């Protein structure tokens, strides 16, 4: 197993290409199951989760081809998903347990084949994460759902209908949106999630021939069509990767130009809070230039919310930054329970954090100190990398397979902006 070793205290400066968004890429790949014609996706990030999903799509009968020629630090890969024949409608436990987003094959398989059998994802490090909202919505548009032996079996001809989500769910909105495109009728999705990754998915589906209105709002209307056709689509930039590097710029007293389209819009909730913390942003013709505008990071009060609010996927990174704030900060997590597992690790680096239910109070300290740390989920791991970049001394971040799931070329990207960071062999932990 490998670890990331960081010698902290170096100012980061330079231009950082932002990769294609993992959370947009995964549903887009699943949308490839909706057409016999093949879907070509550009700007897909090189990440472990993309490979895991590709292996699931292959298992279902898709042929996946990659164009990886000459990719460098700033270029994504082009992947074609050719699902002319679906040979299996079962997503097995072994793959679904590795990656919860595998549940997103349910909608496309059901819509196209009239049946999908998908392993229940089970618990995960950041909470219980049930799929009840997905299942109820499929029933609302005509499916029959059975749960047996740890699997969901969804079947039936989709007729469309009205879906009203009691809670905003990104994955459930995506799943039902994909299925509704091939339903035999119209579907209205109320209280839909509005995350930019959903807009990206909807725009791709429209390019494939789907009829969707209300894109970008919480009320989506889908008129089913009999088939979707081939298209090419380019994945949006990763707003969470971009937000993480914005935090890196501030924590190291540096200045980074994040390269990507539409960053001010897709990062809106993040930028709002970072601005309150004293960061300044200037739009450039290539992206967004970010630095700390005040002498010290200012204390903030942040609450995680669905888009356009402050994203839960930035909560751990923000907390790492607030360990250095002037005074104190409060961060409240409203989306997932049990998403403060980075707290004890940050405290091992000298942070002063108290958790009370779903809120954490962070009192700023002068300097973080390097330490041996490890995290149990992707964003928590990134918070430790960020802390390591700013800390005095050396930080070893263990269990880096989490980072490989979500941060493309992390070491190379940070290294190119002046960080002293490397991957090394770890003692087994």
- In the complex, the residues that contact ligand UD1 under the rule CB under 6 A are 23, 26, 100-101, 127, 129-134, 167, 169-172, 311-313, 335-336
Nearer CB in complex with ligand UD1: 200/255: 200
Does the annotation mark 204 as catalytic?
no
Report the nearest approach of ligand UD1 to the CB of residue 381 (Å). 13
The Cβ of residue 148 has, within 10 Å, a number of other Cβ atoms equal to 8
- Residue 315 or residue 398: which is nearer to ligand UD1 going by CB? 315
Task: Spot the catalytic one: 30, 124, 204, 417.
Answer: 124
Residue 292 CB, nearest distance to ligand UD1 (Å)?
A: 26
Smallest separation (angstroms) from ligand UD1 to the CB of 195:
6
HEC per residue, 352-402: EEEEECCEEEEECCCCCECCEEECCCHHHHHHHHHHHHHCECEEEEECCHH
> Of all residues in this chain, which one has the CB nearest to ligand UD1 in the complex?
171
Q: Are 392 and 369 in contact (CB under 8 A)?
A: yes
CA 176 – CA 159 distance, rounded (Å): 12
Nearer to ligand UD1, 23 or 252 (CB): 23
- Min dist CB 82 to ligand UD1, Å, is 23
Return the residue matching tokens 């002063």: 352
Pairing between strand 328-332 and 301-303?
Answer: parallel
Q: At what angle do helices 106-113 and 22-31 cross, to 10 degrees?
A: 10
Residue environment code for 294-326, b if the CB has 16+ CB neighbours within 10 A, otherwise e: eeebbbbebbbebbbbbbbbbbbbbbbbbbbbe
- Residue 123 vs 327, nearer CB to ligand UD1: 123
Identify the CA nearest to 186 among candidates 156, 219, 224, 215: 224
- Least separation in angstroms between CB 1 and ligand UD1: 24
Instruction: Tell me how far, at minimum, the Cβ of 100 lies from ligand UD1, in Å.
Output: 6
E strand or H helix at 111: helix 106-113
The residues pairing with 20 across neighbouring beta strands, listed in sequence order, are 237
Instruction: For Cα atoms 198, 306, 402, give the angle at the middle one, nearest 5 degrees.
Output: 75
Residue closest to 322 by CA, chosen among 287, 373, 354, 361: 361
Per-residue DSSP letter, 193: -
Q: Of the two residues 3 and 100, which places its CB atom closer to ligand UD1 in the complex?
A: 100
Minimum distance between the CB of residue 127 and ligand UD1, rounded to whole angstroms? Answer: 6
Counting beta carbons within 10 angstroms of the beta carbon of residue 154, is it exposed (0 to 12), middle (13 to 18) or buried (19 or more)? buried
Q: Annotated active-site positions, please? A: 124
């Amino acid at each position: 197993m490998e670890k990331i070793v960081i010698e902290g205290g170096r100012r980061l400066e330079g231009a950082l290409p932002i990769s294609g968004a993992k959370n947009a890429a995964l549903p887009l790949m699943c949308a490839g199951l909706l057409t016999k014609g093949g879907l070509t996706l550009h700007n897909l990030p090189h990440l472990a989760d993309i490979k895991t999903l590709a292996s699931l799509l292959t298992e279902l009968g898709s042929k996946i081809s990659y164009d990886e020629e000459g990719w460098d630090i700033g270029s994504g890969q082009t992947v074609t998903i050719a699902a002319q024949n679906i040979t299996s409608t079962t997503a097995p436990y072994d793959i679904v347990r590795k990656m919860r987003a595998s549940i997103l094959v349910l909608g496309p398989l059901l819509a196209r084949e009239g049946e999908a059998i998908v392993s229940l994802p089970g618990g995960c490090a950041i909470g219980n994460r049930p799929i009840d909202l997905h299942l109820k919505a499929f029933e609302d548009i005509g499916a029959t759902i059975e749960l047996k032996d740890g699997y969901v079996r969804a079947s039936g001809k989709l007729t469309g209908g009205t879906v009203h989500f009691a809670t905003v769910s990104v994955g459930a909105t995506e799943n039902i949106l994909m299925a509704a495109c091939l339903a035999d009728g119209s579907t209205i999705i109320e209280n839909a999630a509005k995350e930019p990754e959903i807009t990206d998915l909807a725009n791709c589906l429209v390019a494939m021939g789907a009829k969707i209105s209300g894109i970008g709002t919480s009320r989506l209307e889908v008129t089913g069509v009999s088939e979707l056709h081939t298209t090419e689509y380019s994945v949006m930039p990763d707003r969470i990767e971009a937000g993480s590097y914005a935090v890196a710029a501030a924590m190291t007293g540096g200045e980074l130009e994040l390269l990507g389209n539409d960053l001010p819009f897709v990062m809106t909730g993040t930028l709002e809070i970072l601005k309150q913390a004293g960061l300044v942003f200037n739009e450039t013709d290539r992206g967004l230039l970010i630095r700390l505008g005040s002498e010290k990071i200012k204390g903030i009060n942040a609450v995680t919310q669905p888009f356009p609010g402050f994203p839960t996927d930035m909560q751990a990174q923000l907390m790492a930054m607030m360990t250095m704030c002037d005074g104190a900060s409060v961060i409240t997590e409203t989306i997932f329970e049990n998403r403060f597992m980075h707290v004890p690790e940050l405290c091992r680096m000298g942070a002063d954090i108290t958790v009370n239910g779903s809120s954490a109070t962070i009192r700023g300290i002068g300097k973080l100190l390097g330490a041996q740390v490890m995290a149990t989920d992707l964003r928590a791991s990134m918070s430790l990398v960020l802390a390591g970049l700013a800390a005095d001394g050396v930080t070893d971040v263990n269990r880096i397979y989490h980072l490989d799931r979500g941060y493309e070329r992390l070491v190379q990207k940070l290294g190119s902006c002046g960080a002293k960071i490397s991957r090394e062999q770890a003692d087994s932990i």
